[in-house]
Amino acid sequence: MKAFTYQSLPMRVIFGEGALAGVAGEVERLGARSALVLCTEAQRASAENVARLLGQRAAGVYDKAQMHVPIETAEEARHVAADLGADCCVAIGGGSTIGLGKAIAMTSELPIVAIPTTFAGSEMTPIYGITEGGLKRTGRDARVLPASVIYDPALTATLPPRIAATSGINAIAHSVEALYAQDANPIISLMAEESIRALAASLPRVVANPGDAGAASDALYGAWLAGACLGAVGMAIHHKLCHTLGGTFNLPHAEMHTIVLPHSIAYNRHAAPEAMARVSAALGGAEAASGIYDLAERLGAPMALADIGMPADGLARAAELATQNPYYNPRPIEQAAILELLRDAYAGRRPP
């Protein structure tokens, strides 16, 4: 066993069908009296249901959460929270809504109760992201880690299959990179492998039948573990590439992760054989890169960067940006090989 350091994050997780009913108790447990409920416009009805469950403890609903947390939205939401005298935020939604809660917590230290409705995993991490002047700034800050997370599988029943599929593969990406992280450790590796196993088995069932409660529960379990992996250890080439592509070419987050992941895995294939063996075991024996590719295809996910708005003449620029600052990856970062990886992802080729 290699030497390692592991520090667990102080979080409380409530998991189960119907768990949402306990939201008022979670707010009360934090000693809060007035919660601002956050959501996207599309999820307003879910947020109003949360406000109803909170009763006297609801300060109001703010429904302007958006992808990548624009600074203007963050600032407006901070003002709304202050004007209403909120002493806590309840974020119901995907990574974008939970990200808005984190943006509020960064300046106000209001605790967050997170209620995830996708599989992206932001609820388990101290990682924030705010977009200003076209640039997304991300970082780690203990103040933004949700105090309490409620996982209720009933909430993913309304998830459009494309978002279920791609946010699920986004979760798998956290776990794959945790397995070859510079600061990998045995506990997180167990969670990573188990999360890939749970997600790979359940996502096809979730996509085929969003009302399948057992499948939704298994997928959310996998998403919880994957989010915990992302929160605990550092990431590598895959997350760096997606950050670059998302920031510079404004590609949709979960779709982009889904398309790039098989190619990132193929890039690291020979440099991280132990991690690859664990991914393969979690996929029931399929080779890691092509196994993830086949899973995404089976889920009906987009497979090529060309299909989600990536300009062909941007590939060289992306390869240059992604290789600019040195960072950890099990295989050294070589610009020509990264460009090759991006070309494969652009065309949607199946890794050999």
Least Å from the CB of residue 48 to ligand NAD: 14
Using CB under 6 A as the binding rule, whether residue 67 contacts ligand NAD is answered as yes
Using CB under 6 A as the binding rule, whether residue 172 contacts ligand NAD is answered as no
Backbone φ and ψ for 322, nearest 5 degrees, come out as -70, -10
Q: Which is nearer to ligand NAD, 155 or 200 (CB)?
A: 155
Q: Which residues have C-beta within 8 Å of that of residue 290, sequence separation ≥ 6?
A: 262, 350, 351, 352
- Helix, strand, coil shares, percent, the chain, to 5: 60, 10, 30
Report the distance separating Cα 137 and Cα 117, nearest Å.
24
Count the residues of the shown chain that bind ligand NAD, applying the rule CB under 6 A. 29
Contacting residue, 122, 195, 264, 323, with ligand NAD by CB under 6 A? 122
Stretch that binds ligand NAD, among 6-14, 93-101, 291-299, 313-321 (CB under 6 A): 93-101
DSSP result, 330-346: SS---HHHHHHHHHHHH
Backbone φ and ψ for 229, nearest 5 degrees, come out as -65, -45
Stretch that binds ligand NAD, among 123-131, 186-194, 328-336, 344-352 (CB under 6 A): 123-131
Tokens of 275: 């991690």
Least Å from the CB of residue 224 to ligand NAD: 13
Least Å from the CB of residue 246 to ligand NAD: 7
Tokens of 89: 């935020």
Q: Which is nearer to ligand NAD, 57 or 224 (CB)?
A: 224
* Cα–chain center distance at 116: 10
Least Å from the CB of residue 168 to ligand NAD: 10
Are β-strands 112-116 and 127-132 bridged in parallel, bridged antiparallel, or unpaired? unpaired
Q: Which residues have C-beta within 8 Å of that of residue 215, sequence separation ≥ 6?
A: 202, 205, 206, 209
283 within 8 A of 262, measured Cβ to Cβ: no
Least Å from the CB of residue 255 to ligand NAD: 9
Q: Which is nearer to ligand NAD, 250 or 290 (CB)?
A: 250
Site string for ligand NAD, 33-62 (x = CB under 6 A): -------x-xx-------------------
Least Å from the CB of residue 243 to ligand NAD: 8
Place of tokens 């947390």: 69
Using CB under 6 A as the binding rule, whether residue 220 contacts ligand NAD is answered as no
Tokens of 293: 């590719």
Report the distance separating Cα 2 and Cα 345, nearest Å.
34
Contacting residue, 73, 117, 258, 268, with ligand NAD by CB under 6 A? 117
88 within 8 A of 113, measured Cβ to Cβ: yes
Least Å from the CB of residue 179 to ligand NAD: 17
Give the three-state DSSP class for 287: coil
Tokens of 162: 């494309």
Residues 254-293 within binding reach of ligand NAD (CB under 6 A): 254
Using CB under 6 A as the binding rule, whether residue 93 contacts ligand NAD is answered as yes
Using CB under 6 A as the binding rule, whether residue 155 contacts ligand NAD is answered as yes
* Cα–chain center distance at 155: 17
Q: Which is nearer to ligand NAD, 227 or 348 (CB)?
A: 227
Least Å from the CB of residue 80 to ligand NAD: 18
Q: Which residues are near ligand NAD by CB under 6 A?
A: 40, 42-43, 67-68, 93-97, 99, 117-118, 120-122, 125, 127, 129, 155-156, 158-159, 163, 167, 170, 230, 253-254
